Structure 1
Amino acid sequence: MNLRLQLFELEDQPWFPHTIRQGMLDFLRFMITKLNAYEAALPLLQELLERTQQQHITDLCSGAGGGIAAIQQQLSERMGSTIGITLSDLYPNITAYQYLHHKSGGSIAYIPEPVNATAVPESVAGVRTIFSSFHHFPPATAKAILQDAADKRAAIGIFEGARKSWLEMLLLWLAFPFLILVVTPFIRPFKISRLFYTYIIPLIPLGIIWDGTVSLLRIYPPEQLQRMAEEVNVTDYTWRSGRAGAGVGKNVIYLIGYPKPI
């Protein structure tokens, strides 16, 4: 599936109810964590940290922080020291961030104010990452995110938890409606609203299936990511894209970029 269609996702719409959006993001966080979906990204993250001699990651467009807890723990184990992660978003999910902050013993922090990925404040340091969110942006905005990182000499890693295949689309349509109903009671932090909008008025499941379908169609394939990166106006900067991982729920499409040593 090499095509990309610029369709719309419900969670991107300003009018879309916040409670439903957060319920959808909470499900995504739960599934990414349980599947350890970004395991294949760990060597790439380690490379970015080592090349830039840093021990901190600032995650942009964090949503509900899906998979971040496992990434922080496993990356710290790989590198032999605690790697800190700061979550941020244009629409911060404070409840989820507080939960992850407490669960991680403070190793995962968050910025409570909105952070625009195309204009990250100078005060925000560390290797930048975007997990499962880059596809939300049309090409001009996506390129602006890369340009902002390059302008500020910040390393950046873009990771999408998919291979972008028709098999994934089929699994989404056939398996996810039942999966959502089964796992929802186990998602933490617990919310009555999540149960109501899953079992009584099933707006969360419908939103997940619609946005999941659109997400697969919107994901940039590696070749398009590489072309976009090479159009960024910057010197002495390295870009690399590709696919990593194998198995259901373990595939990652990535783009990494970092400044060359002076």
Structure 2
Amino acid sequence: MASPWIPRMHLWEIDDQPWFPPFLRAYVQSGLTHAWTLHIPFFQDSSPATIVADTLRRVLGPSVSRHTYIDFCAGAGGPTPFIERALNSQLAISAARTVPATASAGVVDGTSQAASSETPSYAAVADPGTKSSTVRDEEEAAVDFVLTDLHPHVEFWEAASKKSDRLTYVSGPVDAADAPADLLRRYAGKGSGKKGIFRLFNLAFHHFDDDLARAILKNTVETSEGFGIFELQDRTLGGMATCFIFGFFILLIAPLLYWWSPERLFFVYVIPVVPFVLVFDGLVSCLRTRTAGEVEVLLRTCGADSDGWEVRSGRDRVIWPCGYLSWVICGKKATLSG
């Protein structure tokens, strides 16, 4: 992909400012979550969160089940709970379709036939309380997601984690540039067998200046198997146009999303702070977003040995006609699919 003609500018966003009222920040973050999770027929094939799950599964290949996914800048939760559900749903379907390695063969009309994934094992027939090998395969394929942030949003995370056994959170502050070793060991050892740590940065990496980005990447290379950067914008005219489209959609669908909250509707229509901040910060985010090449430069100059790491990247359309999800996935060669 050609380099954008717009240079990267590390400007400030309203939502980041300490003077911005917390209740309005919550409304803006809720709008961003909807941007990740909504699926608008005719305009979208699927939600951006689902596309992230598809991308992880495609790029990581067989190793996708060998990691614990830690969101180091989870904010109020964002898309991660939805990515968790989408990815584990895909892995469960894939595991159910796979014929268990221990399935015995049968003979029908003199022809040897392998047992299908629907065929119960002998142990399951002999003891109905025993889980089938298919169920065990689905459980082993499932992966865990962890929400962390330098400024934890425990109330939101707790509500999200109650909806899935595979989603948890760290209630204390976690610095992505200096992740606690005991935290990483705890989640690397969770479940059956040792797991690698895979870091997620959803709509977050563009917030870091170059020095902080290098520090985070150095810590990542030294303590993780890989990381993924997922952004809903880029430094293109199409990316900027999408910000205005999103602002229009918020105005269009807010009554369906927030009918139960007159206060939210007030700050969408009467004093339109929410759509203004979403569009303004979206435009600034476009200017702050790095290309895959720029991320790789930071990776190679972060001070850690990244010689064995590869960089993959791409763009997937998330809303017609010009909205794209930009992603960069980096990891050790054994982590990425061939």
**TM-score normalised by structure 1 residue count:** 0.85
Contact map agreement 1:63 1:93 (CA 8 A) in 2: yes
Name the residue aligned to 1:128: 199
Q: 1:26 to 1:162 in 2, by over 3 A?
A: same
Name the residue aligned to 1:91: 151
- Which residue among 237, 257, 276 is the counterpart of 1:206? 276
Contact map agreement 1:230 1:239 (CA 8 A) in 2: no
- Which residue among 23, 29, 32 is the counterpart of 2:27? 23
Contact map agreement 2:233 2:285 (CA 8 A) in 1: no
Cα shift at 1:192: 5.5
Larger-gyration structure (1/2):
2
- Which residue among 163, 168, 174 is the counterpart of 1:109? 168
Greater relative CO (CA pairs within 8 A, separation 6+): 1
Name the residue aligned to 1:223: 293
Q: Is the partner of 1:184 in helix, strand or coil? A: helix
CA deviations over 1:168-202 (Å, ceiling 9, x no partner): 212322x33332223334448x6554334223332
1:34 aligns with 2:38: yes
Cα shift at 1:49: 8.2
CA deviations over 1:77-129 (Å, ceiling 9, x no partner): 33333222111112223343233223x33322222222221111113333211
Q: For 2:155 and 2:256, locate their aligned partners in 1 and report how far apart those are by CA, in whole Å.
A: 16
**RMSD of aligned Cα (Å):** 2.7
Q: For 1:63 and 1:224, locate their aligned partners in 2 and report how far apart those are by CA, in whole Å.
A: 24
Q: 1:246 to 1:198 in 2, by over 3 A?
A: closer
Name the residue aligned to 2:329: 255
Q: How does 1:129-208 map to 2 (within 5 A)?
A: 129-173=200-244, 175-187=245-257, 193-208=263-278
Q: 1:127 to 1:253 in 2, by over 3 A?
A: closer
Contact map agreement 2:233 2:282 (CA 8 A) in 1: no
Cα shift at 1:153: 3.7
Contact map agreement 2:234 2:289 (CA 8 A) in 1: no
Q: For 1:200 and 1:247, locate their aligned partners in 2 and report how far apart those are by CA, in whole Å.
A: 30
- Which residue among 69, 73, 76 is the counterpart of 1:64? 76
Q: Where does structure 2 lack aligned partners over 5 or more consecutive residues?
A: 40-46, 93-140, 185-196
Q: 1:49 to 1:118 in 2, by over 3 A?
A: farther
Q: For 1:107 and 1:52, locate their aligned partners in 2 and report how far apart those are by CA, in whole Å.
A: 15
Q: 1:152 to 1:99 in 2, by over 3 A?
A: same
Q: Is the partner of 1:27 in helix, strand or coil? A: helix
Moved more, 163-172 or 42-51: 42-51
Cα shift at 1:152: 1.8
Cα shift at 1:76: 1.4
Contact map agreement 1:147 1:232 (CA 8 A) in 2: yes
Q: For 1:171 and 1:44, locate their aligned partners in 2 and report how far apart those are by CA, in whole Å.
A: 21
1:8 aligns with 2:12: yes
Q: 1:224 to 1:202 in 2, by over 3 A?
A: same
Query: AA paired with 1:109?
Result: T
Q: Is the partner of 2:171 in helix, strand or coil? A: coil
Contact map agreement 2:199 2:224 (CA 8 A) in 1: no
Contact map agreement 2:254 2:265 (CA 8 A) in 1: yes
Cα shift at 1:139: 0.8
Name the residue aligned to 2:104: none
Q: 1:56 to 1:30 in 2, by over 3 A?
A: same
Name the residue aligned to 1:45: 56
Q: For 2:84 and 2:261, locate their aligned partners in 1 and report how far apart those are by CA, in whole Å.
A: 25
Q: 1:49 to 1:136 in 2, by over 3 A?
A: farther
Q: For 1:243 and 1:259, locate their aligned partners in 2 and report how far apart those are by CA, in whole Å.
A: 18
CA deviations over 1:117-155 (Å, ceiling 9, x no partner): 111111333321111110001111111111111122442
- Which residue among 277, 297, 304 is the counterpart of 1:234? 304
Moved more, 232-241 or 59-68: 232-241
Q: Where does structure 1 lack aligned partners over 5 or more consecutive residues?
A: none
